[in-house]
Amino acid sequence: MAGRGNFSNRLGFILAAAGSAVGLGNIWKFPFEVEAGGGAAFVLIYLIFCFLLCFPVMVTEIAIGRKTNKNAVGAFNALGYNKWNIIGKMGILAGIVILSFYNVVAGWALGYFFEMAQGNFSVGKEFGSYVANVSTTGVYAVIFMAFTAYVVSRGVSAGIEKGAKILMPTLIIMILGLLGYSLTLPNAMTGVKYYLIPEFSELNLKTIGGALRQSFFSLSLGMGTIITYGSYLSKKENIISSTVSVTFFDVGIAFLAGLMLFPLVAYSTGGDMSDVQGGAGLIFAALPSVFESLGTGLGSLLGAFFFLLLSFAALTSTVSLLEVPVSYVVDEHKISRPKATAITAAIIFIAGLPSLVGNGYSEMFTSFVTYVGAEGPVGFMDFLGHLADCMLLLGGFLIVTFAGYVWKKENLNEEIAIGYEGYENSRVKVFIGFAVRYLCPALLGLLFIMVVLSNFFGVDIIN
Ligand code: PHE
């Protein structure tokens, strides 16, 4: 496949796919989902979802990509099922939707890096006005998109793989360093307990739906990212063990991020966890004062370090989000990669403008819609987030259904067996066959409906 590019080896693929997976979702969202969802009880459900439901989806996506050496849309055409390329088209749309707002948040992280480096901790208390100030956040959003486009334009091995090979190890070292430090702070154990002690009473259908949504988003599934990355994977590699590595990587980093954050929070509140502010705002609104409490010098060093880490994690994800449409344009429309990247990035940036202004600057986009039965309106960014959740679950459902009933599990298995001696008689094979035909279609279909009802109609079946 001259010209399309390839990952140079297994490690390159794993780091790039893990780079896609590890992102704002892990560091920004996961810790608080855990806390809100009942601590270790949520982690348990999350792990079950990752290995039971997400695992077969990831294996299938990689297999479809590697078999065809094509982008998310072209892959279905190459298999001879042109009608099913709607899955890939929806994936490209989901990629555009997600990147349009994700890039804005990534821009905040980058902006906070500079604020922390200058010891400006007050941005946390002024978070609302910070994000409403679009002349600043807009510049960071442009810079972030430009970085992303630069990496993607350099191609698979010189851009995506090389970026992941530099950023991912750096990210791990940074997290471990910050984690080690935060565990030595007074009250650290209070934070750890708050994070992890299981509260089974807080586990309900809503948190279970939340765990599924989070696992899909976090593993970058259901929108063709992994089909695209799989298309650059060599036939020598073992799809099953690569999937296991990527999943552990993602789950591991998310877990460590929580272990690093809660001791910091406990330290700054003196061990009083009664009114810890959860949710999305925490990192941007509350963390700066946590760093401030460490003193100006150390605080700005660690604060800058933290937001740089968050920016790095986001960058390998934005790269994978942009690669989905770019790979499509390059393959199907024969436009050169640099040109395709520039055009696509510009379009997605423009699509992100409502998200940019929808955080206090423009009233219309800040209070964008009120769902049926909801108390108040949600902003454009949250709306896109909810939409994306649903698109990924639907995409995942369609991908396994396609593999199980249309492409057929025999063909799927044949592809998986390449690079995995002994797959023929293994238990994994039995499991994958069962998962793509029964387990995943049934549960993903059900949970998709549940998440749509809960996201948009306020219907929580059990609460
Ligand atoms: N997995 C990324 C995160 O957790 C986000 C993402 C979703 C990236 C879908 C690519 C595709 O931040």
Q: Is 318 in the pocket of ligand 1 (CB under 6 A)?
A: no
Q: Is 98 in the pocket of ligand 1 (CB under 6 A)?
A: yes
CA of 29 to the centre of ligand 1 (A): 11
The 10s digit of each residue's pLDDT in 442-460 is: 999 998 998 888 878 877 6
Q: How far apart are CA 144 and CA 46, in angstroms?
A: 30
Q: How far apart are CA 247 and CA 350, in angstroms?
A: 33
296 pLDDT exceeds 70?
A: yes
Q: Is 24 in the pocket of ligand 1 (CB under 6 A)?
A: yes
* Residue 461: predicted pLDDT: 59
The 10s digit of each residue's pLDDT in 209-263 is: 888 889 999 999 999 999 999 999 999 999 999 999 999 999 999 999 989 988 9
| Protein residue with least CA distance to atom 6, ligand 1 | 220
Pocket test for ligand 1, best of 317, 389, 393 (most atoms within 8 A of CB): 317
Q: Is 85 in the pocket of ligand 1 (CB under 6 A)?
A: no
* Residue 201: predicted pLDDT: 83
Q: How far apart are CA 459 and CA 372, in angstroms?
A: 9
CA of 321 to the centre of ligand 1 (A): 7
DSSP-derived letter for residue 201 is G
Q: How far apart are CA 209 and CA 196, in angstroms?
A: 19
**Coil, strand or helix: which one is 459?**
coil
**How many other β-carbons are positioned within 10 Å of the β-carbon of residue 393?**
25
* Residue 2: predicted pLDDT: 42
CA of 385 to the centre of ligand 1 (A): 11
CA of 130 to the centre of ligand 1 (A): 25
429 pLDDT exceeds 90?
A: yes
pTM assigned to the model: 0.95
The 10s digit of each residue's pLDDT in 52-73 is: 999 999 999 999 999 999 999 9
% residues pLDDT > 70 (the chain): 97
In which band, very low, low, confident or very high, does the pLDDT at 277 lie, cut at 50, 70 and 90?
low
CA of 19 to the centre of ligand 1 (A): 9
Q: Is 97 in the pocket of ligand 1 (CB under 6 A)?
A: no
% residues pLDDT > 90 (the chain): 76
CA of 433 to the centre of ligand 1 (A): 26
CA of 218 to the centre of ligand 1 (A): 5
Q: Is 220 in the pocket of ligand 1 (CB under 6 A)?
A: yes
**Among 455, 459, 453, 451, which Cα is nearest to 216's?**
451
Q: How far apart are CA 334 and CA 318, in angstroms?
A: 23
Q: How far apart are CA 389 and CA 385, in angstroms?
A: 6
